[in-house]
Amino acid sequence: MSARTTTLDERYGRTPDRRRRSRIGAIVAGAVVLVVVVVWAVWTGIGGAVTALDVTTTGVAISSDESTDVEWLVTGRSGTELVCAIEATDSTGAIVGLAEVVVPATGQVNRGGDTRVRTVRRASNGLIDSCRDA
């Protein structure tokens, strides 16, 4: 290589040292991306599966203007006692009755029940809204 070519290579960053730094930077960036992906997968995949909880309304019976019976099923967290909110709603979706029910830890994945919700006026629907750890 001539002196002129060497000077131009140095001026425009085409030296072996520059290529080595670029390669190291690419490896570090790839490693950071890999770590972020692994942390995200653990956080959403494994952590989400352990705490998964599904609530389902399995039946509703409007008993009277003052009460509604709601059948429900909770799936997940078999070893944890839960408190679940059971709601009765009117035709506009407004809550006209609310009951909180303690669901004991039974060791079973599926736990169900039937709850009578007292209402302030006639309901048109009932549902299990949510559950949380007791």
Compute the average pLDDT of residues 25-46: 85
Task: Count CA within 13 A, CB hemisphere, residue 64.
Answer: 5
Condensed to tens digits (0 to 9), the pLDDT of residues 22-33 reads 888 889 999 999
Question: Domain ends where: 50, 68, 86?
Answer: 50
Looking at residue 15, what is its pLDDT?
72
CA distances (Å), 23 to each of 19, 44, 74, 116, in order?
Answer: 6, 32, 53, 68
127: containing domain? 54-133
Looking at residue 83, what is its pLDDT?
93
| CATH code: domain of residue 101 | 2.60.40
Residues 98 and 34 in one domain: no
Condensed to tens digits (0 to 9), the pLDDT of residues 56-75 reads 999 999 989 999 999 999 99
Q: Domains in the chain: how many in total?
A: 2
Residues 27 and 92 in one domain: no
Looking at residue 102, what is its pLDDT?
94
Residues 121 and 64 in one domain: yes
Is the pLDDT assigned to residue 133 strictly greater than 90?
Answer: no
Specify the amino acid at residue 24.
I
